[in-house]
């Protein structure tokens, strides 16, 4: 887990930095990752309640956010969709709901009926309570939805709404409703564009922002849906294959809802991005970390094939990790400024 979830990732997901360091130190000493992270989430949940009782709503909100992050970090170590993973993710959702309650009308739960189940997410509004443009943000195989609250804050501070989405193969839709990644996953994420169109506080301009494996989903949606006015790909694989490493393979099998490697290979082959036949048709920003062990710059630049070079930007941090965990402040500022330029001007 230390390789997959370094301190930079834990803090980027919203953990208390001191607890992130303690988690790594204690698990290096032999303690169980999930147990330690869960204990931090429980303690922060109690702290949030006490702060609220004492009339300290800011501290209560911050502690609830730390709790939400700790619970989602706890389930990162569990690749199979068992009851333990579900319970931890339910605790995460409850903590995020507390954040939303404490923030007031600036944050609300979103539920989208889909294939007999529900997709879901969290809509974050700018201080004005309305927005002319919205960015739909999602994660990849293991970091989902409200793990990107820091990204949402960067967007809302610039007058954009941000919908933190959990689509097929992610979070609640997968764990509670059995909705998985398949050849048509882009249509699932496209359902969140319908939410934006119908919401009375939101204008009709919309961008998409996918992190890690979700970057591929963002590019596929931007290539197929004219409603997308801007696309951000952060650390996405354009042509994923069945991973060599067991943990990554288990994550993809869980996301696709199968234990059949041939079926997994079939789905991944169908999802390969091909800009020569179906390019991204809107302004495109590709973000890459030069030290990313999962995706190379050459691979990431395949998302630019067929895109308009006048509105396409590739930004590389030479020392950056996967999805630029360690450059979160600069990454979020650049991404939010660029997206605001595309959607609000």
- Name 246's bridge partners: none
**Shared domain check, 234 and 121:** yes
Query: What local confidence, expressed as pLDDT, does residue 322 receive?
Result: 97
SS3 229: strand
Query: What local confidence, expressed as pLDDT, does residue 33 receive?
Result: 98
**Shared domain check, 261 and 145:** yes
Q: Helices in 55-201 by DSSP H: which ranges? A: 57-75, 83-103, 149-156, 171-177, 185-198
Enclosing domain of residue 84? 1-105
**Shared domain check, 120 and 139:** yes
**Shared domain check, 210 and 86:** no
**Shared domain check, 328 and 240:** yes
CA distance 149 to 319: 24
Any idea what the CATH number is for the domain that residue 294 is in?
A: 3.40.50.1820
Query: What local confidence, expressed as pLDDT, does residue 3 receive?
Result: 86
Query: What local confidence, expressed as pLDDT, does residue 214 receive?
Result: 98
**Shared domain check, 333 and 225:** yes
pTM given for the model: 0.97
**Shared domain check, 140 and 92:** no
pLDDT < 50 regions, the chain: none
**Total domains present in the chain:** 2
Any idea what the CATH number is for the domain that residue 4 is in?
A: 1.20.1440.110
Query: What local confidence, expressed as pLDDT, does residue 246 receive?
Result: 86
Integer CA distances (angstroms), 116 to 119, 272, 276, in order:
10, 27, 35
Residue 213 lies in a domain: yes
**Shared domain check, 120 and 92:** no
**Shared domain check, 143 and 44:** no
Residue 110 lies in a domain: no
Integer CA distances (angstroms), 46 to 32, 43, 194, in order:
22, 5, 37
Integer CA distances (angstroms), 84 to 35, 74, 254, 296, in order:
11, 10, 15, 34
């Amino acid at each position: 887990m230390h390789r997959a979830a370094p301190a930079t990732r834990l803090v980027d997901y919203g953990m208390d930095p001191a607890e992130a360091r303690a988690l790594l130190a204690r698990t290096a000493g032999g303690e169980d990752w999930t147990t330690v992270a869960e204990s931090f989430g429980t303690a922060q949940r109690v702290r949030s309640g006490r702060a609220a009782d004492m009339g300290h709503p800011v501290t209560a909100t911050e502690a609830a956010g730390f709790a939400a992050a700790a619970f989602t970090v706890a389930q990162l170590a569990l690749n199979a969709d068992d009851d333990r993973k579900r319970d931890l993710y339910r605790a995460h959702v409850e903590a995020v709901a507390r954040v939303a309650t404490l923030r007031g009308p600036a944050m609300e739960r979103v539920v989208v009926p889909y294939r007999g189940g529900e997709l879901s997410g969290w809509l974050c509004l700018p201080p004005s309570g309305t927005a002319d443009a919205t960015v739909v943000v999602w994660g990849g195989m293991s970091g989902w939805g409200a793990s990107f609250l820091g990204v949402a804050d960067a967007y809302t501070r610039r007058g954009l709404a941000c919908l933190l989405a959990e689509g097929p193969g992610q979070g609640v839709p997968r764990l509670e409703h059995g909705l998985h990644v398949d050849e048509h996953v882009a249509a699932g994420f496209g359902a969140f564009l319908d939410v934006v169109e119908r919401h009375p506080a939101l204008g009709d301009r919309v961008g998409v922002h996918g992190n890690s494996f979700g970057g591929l989903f963002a590019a596929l949606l931007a290539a197929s849906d004219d409603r997308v006015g801007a696309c951000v790909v952060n650390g996405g694989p354009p042509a994923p294959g069945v991973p060599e490493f067991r943990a990554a393979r288990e994550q993809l099998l869980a996301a696709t809802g199968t234990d059949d490697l041939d079926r997994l290979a079939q789905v991944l082959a169908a999802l390969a991005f091909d800009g020569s036949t179906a390019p991204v048709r809107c302004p495109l920003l590709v973000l890459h970390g030069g030290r990313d062990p999962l995706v190379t710059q050459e691979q990431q630049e395949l998302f630019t094939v067929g895109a308009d070079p006048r509105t396409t930007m590739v930004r590389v941090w030479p020392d950056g990790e996967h999805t630029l965990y360690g450059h979160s402040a600069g990454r979020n500022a650049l991404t939010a400024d660029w997206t605001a330029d595309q959607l609000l001007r």
